Structure 1
């Protein structure tokens, strides 16, 4: 029997922030969070679900576009 790959689904903020032309500080202000919080998102820390609708709006994407499937 062939094992299926294990996947983790993660929010992928940094590329969308770059594409939107926003600095960490600009995104932080638009989201009402600290720059440290945005830096954490850029480093892979996952944003709380309550931020996803606004994050998608600010970045000009759909919530689904924020997700990236990664092989573990």
Structure 2
């Protein structure tokens, strides 16, 4: 099966998507409504994201991706 543009086997972690969108951890945190430490923890695999639907929509909009394009695991 051909890989999608954001296949998780490629380096498309949350950090990659955030940096591609030109956002700092703090900026993404403000958009989503969480702390910068929370975003850092997601990116390092220290915690699992538990977001509301509006927060998930904000995350997708900020990163310029659809829900199906988000990696299943945010860390590398």
Unaligned 5+ runs, structure 2? 1-7
The 8 Å contact of residues 32 and 56 in structure 2, kept in 1 or not, is answered as no
Unaligned 5+ runs, structure 1? 1-8
Could you list the per-position Cα deviations for residues 19-69 of structure 1 after superposition, in whole angstroms to 9, with x for gaps in the alignment? 101000111111111111110111123211423222111111111111258
CA RMSD of aligned residues (A): 2.1
More helix as a share of residues: 1
Moved over 3 A (4+): none
More strand as a share of residues: 1
- CA distance, structure 1, for counterparts of residue 56 and residue 14 of structure 2: 10
Q: Which has the higher contact order (CA 8 A, sep 6+)?
A: 1
Q: Is 1:67–2:68 an aligned residue pair?
A: no
Paired residue total: 59
Larger radius of gyration: 1
- CA distance, structure 1, for counterparts of residue 69 and residue 29 of structure 2: 19
Which residue is 2:49 aligned to? 47
TM-score, with structure 2 as normaliser: 0.64
